[in-house]
Amino acid sequence: MFITFEGIDLSGKSTQIKLLEEYLKSKNKKVISVREPGGTVISEKIRDILLDKKNLHMEYVTEFLLFSASRYQLTNEIIIPKLKKKYFVLCDRYYDSSTAYQGFGGKTDLKSIYRVNKIATGKLVPDITFLINITAEEFVRRKKLINKDEDRIEQKDIAYYKKVIKGYLKISRNNKKRFVVIDGSKTIDEIHTDILKHLKKIKKV
């Protein structure tokens, strides 16, 4: 089963992936979690280019194609082989991130995004996508709280994040079958319970 997690930065994706991975392992399921951009040696190198603050003037299309290149490698090297071996694959971001960030947030046109997304994934669609939805204000609050060094993309302004949030909600409405929108303002435990509840509706876990 292929499960993806989406949402803006600091929405709580990695926290929830960790909890779900622990839960599935406690049920003796085969599980692997991966992150985008990254997850393979080549993809991690592409990640470094993407997030490097020294790369000041990266064009939106350059950015999009690099994310896509990283994704193709991860999909073929890790995700597809693990799915064939009946693993639960938990992925921190997938092509919906490109649609939301580079499409709705950036200036890359959506038609090209949809076309390249198909190429970059070999048309592999997640079985279920959890969108953890937080507001831009909550993003700012959490950012101040953790006070971590920002990467190149996190340096973008609040208006950009608002567009990404709106974009994600639009994508979820266009893909109702696989999307589950989770209220990210709930506590970590409540969100974990919500995720399990939805997962159990489609798979015995």
**Contact footprint for ligand ADP (CB under 6 A):** 7, 9-15, 142, 146, 186-188, 191
Nearest residue (CB) to ligand TYD, 29 versus 55? 55
Q: Binding partner of residue 142 among ligand ADP, ligand TYD, none, CB under 5 to 8 Å per kind?
A: ligand ADP
Q: Which residues pair with 129 in a beta bridge?
A: 4, 179
CB 184 within 8 Å of CB 12? yes
Indicate whether 73 belongs to the interface with ligand TYD (CB under 6 A): no
Backbone φ and ψ for 124, nearest 5 degrees, come out as: -75, 115
Give percent helix, percent strand, percent coil of the chain, each to the nearest 5.
Answer: 55, 15, 30
Beta bridge partners of 34: 91
Closest separation between CB of residue 62 and ligand TYD, Å?
A: 12
Judge whether 127 and 3 are in contact, CB under 8 Å. Answer: yes
User: Which residues, in sequence order, are bridge partners of residue 180?
Assistant: 130
| Nearer to ligand ADP (CB atom), residue 110 or residue 188 | 188
- For ligand ADP, the closer CB: 61 or 196: 196
Residue 10 pairs in a beta bridge with none
192 binds, among ligand ADP, ligand TYD, none (CB under 5 to 8 A by kind): none
Distance CA 30, CA 28 (A): 7
Residue 191 binds which of ligand TYD, ligand ADP, none (CB < 5-8 A, kind-dependent):
ligand ADP
Which does residue 155 touch among ligand ADP, ligand TYD, none (CB within 5 to 8 A, set by kind)? none
Site for ligand TYD in 146-205 (CB under 6 A): 153-154
Look-up: residue for tokens 């696989």? 178
Q: Which does 97 bind (CB under 5 to 8 A by kind): ligand TYD, ligand ADP, none?
A: ligand TYD
Smallest separation, CB 169 to ligand TYD (Å): 17
Within its chain, how far is the Cα of 79 from the centroid?
14
- In the complex with ligand ADP, which residue's Cβ is closer, 171 or 191? 191
